[in-house]
Structure 1
Amino acid sequence: MTQNEQILNHILVHGSISHREAFIDYGVQSFTRRIADIRDAGYDLIKVRKHHPTSGQVYSRYYIRGTEPKTDDRLNG
């Protein structure tokens, strides 16, 4: 299974994915390239900005459009 397939499958099974999950779970180092590849394949992915509850660090999660949580932090990406 390719990294693109692993990332897309993760999104379909779990609802979303972050860069950290892709790196730890699948060894993906070029996460933005993989996201671009998945978009080029016709999937409408959007990026939702989140804040980690403990560290306060800002990070992004990727969802298939229409499945993302409704939030004011949503980015049009």
Structure 2
Amino acid sequence: MQTPRFQPEPNLAPLREVFNRYRAESGMTFDELAEATGISRRTLLNISSGTYHGDLSTWLVLARVWGASLDDMFAAVWE
């Protein structure tokens, strides 16, 4: 019988930097991003400041709008 491998917990703190980098690269304002995604401006500001990490639905919508993959966006949480 194999012993289960320890699975480290993801460090969600880097999501703040990921969000800010993608938003800056897109050139979108918070208002433009809110309009394009349907995510409230307040939620986007909270992700940007790191007070909220978002949920899977939030990141799926952001990835689609920015033309990014979730693998690329979430790689930083495992580093």
User: Scaled by the length of structure 1, what TM-score is found?
Assistant: 0.29
Report the structure, 1 or 2, having the larger strand content.
1
Tell me: higher relative CO, structure 1 or 2? Use CA pairs within 8 A at least 6 residues apart. 2
Greater share of residues in helix: 2
- Which is greater in Rg? 2
